[in-house]
Amino acid sequence: MAAIVGVCLMLALMVPAMAEPSEDAYRQAKEAVSLISYGEYEMALKRLGMEDQMQAATLKRYIDRNCSEIHRGSVQTDVSVAWFDGSTWQIAVPFEAPEDEAVGALVFTLSGSAFSGIDFMRWGDVEASYDVADEVYWNLPYTPSFTVYGDW
């Protein structure tokens, strides 16, 4: 039994840790949020490299049903957070300063170096997700005293 545990520990140590998403991945996710806020769904999917995975009309319907608030004004594109959920990276970009758990965010799934999914979450759910993650990275640390933008 001890030998099996030892082998399992060795295998666990041999599995390489997933590297933090690149600056390019953060930038692509933030640009996609901005494009979506302007109704540029096809361009957003192209920016993410997902045009073969999802149609612009499908993304538009999803946004209209789940988070039409993205169209209410300028979205912030400074702050984003990434966490590893055990198999993929998730990158969340809140629509405005993440000061309230009701703030909306688009969450992008990064499988390896390619985006593979888009989801909508409230900031409270984003926090709950990254609170249990082993790895969490902010591309720009958010501090409440830092003004992200002032349009809202």
What is the DSSP-derived secondary structure letter of residue 145?
T
At residue 8, the pLDDT reads 42
For 4, residues 6+ apart whose C-beta sits below 8 A from its C-beta are none
- Report in angstroms the alpha-carbon separations of 53 from 39, 62, 136, 139: 18, 14, 27, 26
The pTM of the whole model exceeds 0.85: no
Q: How far apart are CA 133 and CA 123, in angstroms?
A: 15
pLDDT, tens digit, for every residue of 22-64? 999 999 999 999 999 999 999 999 999 999 999 999 999 999 9
